[in-house]
Structure 1
């Protein structure tokens, strides 16, 4: 059995890794580098869509090492790509790593605060990786978390095969100053040994349960100019994208819940809303932020378009958009909150059983950070 296909919580571990990528909603393709029993991976994933990402598989015919797998797949790689190990999960904001990564070489995610002697350590000077230390008693420093932003030029420089990224490629990059790293904290699990495989099966689902911030859209993330649906007319609230990133970095889900009665009134169509949300997601990604899901309600009882002229339990002040998200995501509602600018947002929060915070304007990042700080002390 390929290690990433081992079942954790009654589903392949790789399913969880892919779901974690898909919730960022910025990746167009997920390429699986498969070797041992690759046909099992192909049967499960080839042609599958997760969010906006299409899944493809590169099948090795002979073992070439972790570096050789990239050589084998080089014609399928973009000029810059995110590379993740298939047997470990690290819960941190991937887009922050991508936003920090310099052009050229490799920028790696490091896990800070790992105890024990199982892992080798990384010697970091500012954000430059200087050296790798073998596992040993009393070793300190961050560990390689198996997540990298890679320039394709690195693949072209890999020499004789088979070859290992960790043993052959990264030390050479470190020697010439082309290997960088950033240390993060967050839940980390590597299923490479039986003890940790069993631990992942016991705890992974609950560890991925997170509190959420449910953002209203118009008047909170962007200026409420009245039935906004065009990207070139959208004006961000000061600190809006940074506020979303603060939520991401705190380990919360970030959701948008927005009434869009303009659809029911015939001012625009659903595809306009979907396109605007896609544009907003791409703009947030530029600063390392993401929304896990955009929810909107197109209905209104006074609508003029057949099919949308109706009452809906998803339309705020009803809590339907929130409760629908709870069915799809492992949300810790006890620590979640709604941020809105209207009484209907606060009523929806109350109906869903979460805290509601009324945003009256100003810098949204400062407003959100204050609420996150208060929640962490509660």
Structure 2
């Protein structure tokens, strides 16, 4: 099935909310390991289970009219392990679970490219695949938000390197997903790096943009 959300770069670029977020800060979230329990190349919707308490931060942002946007590498699509149809089914389950808790995502940006992929998804170093920051540029074109006021939450150092490359204000490494292992890499980051904090999980994030 063809999806209108897939742009010319074969990136999933979806703006869900119709609200005006011009010059607004944004809360960017990685998906697997931050929003949902991590599974290696999650393929089955039944595996998409929200990490406990994650909806609290999203609800707070919804109330403050701060957009919440997923920024996620989905190399499994490029590798042929699953399809965009599988991705859509998983996203629907995530949306439904959040909706039942009164939370709503405003957008989703997903990159299927991978160095080991075949065909149109094969790229040695695609600009949108984290640790590159191209997905933030895609998001900015959709939402017109202010990246320099925005935050990124990830469970991998590459999430934060990507955010830093586009001059986001703050980054947060959560200890869910790969976070506990990735924490060991913090000391390897360059001295000139944006404000970085470590949190047990997304629910521990305090929204004070």
Give TM class, smaller chain: 0.7 to 0.9
| Distance apart, 1:229 and its partner CA | 2.5
- Greater length-normalized contact order (CA 8 Å, ≥ 6 residues apart): 2
Q: 1:23 to 1:265 in 2, by over 3 A?
A: closer
Q: 1:306 aligns with which of 108, 119, 138?
A: 119
Alignment of 1:141-290 (within 5 A): 208-290=22-104
List runs of 5+ in structure 1 lacking aligned partners: 1-21, 25-49, 51-90, 92-204
Q: Distance in 2 between matches of 1:363 and 1:318?
A: 24
TM-score (ref. length: structure 1): 0.42
* Ranges in structure 2 where 5+ consecutive residues have no aligned partner: 1-14, 177-199
Aligned to 1:276, what secondary structure does the other structure show?
Answer: helix
What is the deviation of 1:346? Answer: 0.8
What is the TM-score when the length of structure 2 is the normalising length?
0.74
The DSSP-based 3-state class of the residue aligned with 1:307 is: helix
1:350 matched to which residue of 2? Answer: 164
After TM superposition, give the deviation of residue 336 of structure 1 in Å.
0.6
- Quick check: 1:254–1:293 contact (8 Å CA) kept in 2? yes
Runs of 4+ in 1 over 4 A off after TM superposition: none
SS across alignment from 1:318: coil
Distance 2:58 2:43 in 1: 20
Structure 2 contact 68–107 (Cα < 8 Å) conserved: yes
User: What RMSD over aligned residues (CA atoms) do the two structures have, in Å?
Assistant: 2.0
The higher radius of gyration belongs to 1
Q: Judge which range, 350-359 or 230-239, deviates more.
A: 230-239
Q: Within 5 Å, which residues of 2 pair with 1:84-103?
A: none
Give me the whole-angstrom Cα distance separating, in 1, the residues matched to 2:108 and 2:43.
Answer: 14
Deviations along 1:212-260, one digit per CA (max 9) or x if unpaired, are 0110001100111111132212222111222221221222110001001
Aligned with 1:356: secondary structure?
strand
Paired position in structure 2 for 1:23: 16
Counterpart CA distance in 1 for 2:33 and 2:62 is: 21
